[in-house]
Amino acid sequence: MAKGKVGKTVGSLGDYLKEQRLSSRLSLRQLADQAGVSNPYLSQIERGLRKPSAEVLQQIAKALRISAEQLYIRAGILNPEDGLAGSVELAILGDTVLSERQKQSLLDVYASFLALNAAEAPSEAAEVPAQEDSNNVTNEG
């Protein structure tokens, strides 16, 4: 199932990139040259056959003069519902010292911490109102 989801995300990314390229009146070859990627590779991204790295997305965004963050969201690297979490992910992705592998490792660790906290949150949330209620009774009495 996860594989199908990735394909769908990449497909929507490809469709979005193609729309942006056409609205910028760039040919596939022109965009590939400006982004520093091969023409066949860019074609595969647009058709949803390849999932580009964050670095490649950043190069494409720069060539199209659009937000790299928007491409990260379309590619499934960032989740717009994460709020401030996105700023951490953007900082990791924007770091020029780290390799792509190091960036991905940090993103994976960060995502695992977020998932762990989200899994623990419902049980903690259930405990908090009970404590607040007992505090209110104590304060009133």
Q: SS3 for 84?
A: coil
pLDDT at 10: 52
Average pLDDT value for residue range 36-46? 95
Residue-wise pLDDT for 107-141, tens only, equals: 888 888 888 888 887 665 555 555 444 444 544 44
In which band, very low, low, confident or very high, does the pLDDT at 5 lie, cut at 50, 70 and 90? very low
Quote the distance between the C-alpha of residue 130 and its chain's center: 37
pTM across the whole model: 0.57
In which band, very low, low, confident or very high, does the pLDDT at 61 lie, cut at 50, 70 and 90? very high
**d(C-alpha 138, C-alpha 5), whole Å:** 51
**d(C-alpha 40, C-alpha 52), whole Å:** 13
pLDDT over 70 at 38, yes or no: yes
Average pLDDT value for residue range 13-24? 92
Average pLDDT value for residue range 6-20? 74
pLDDT over 70 at 74, yes or no: yes
Q: Are 32 and 59 in contact (CB under 8 A)?
A: no
pLDDT at 9: 53
First-to-last CA distance in the chain?
55
- Mean of the per-residue pLDDT values for the chain? 78
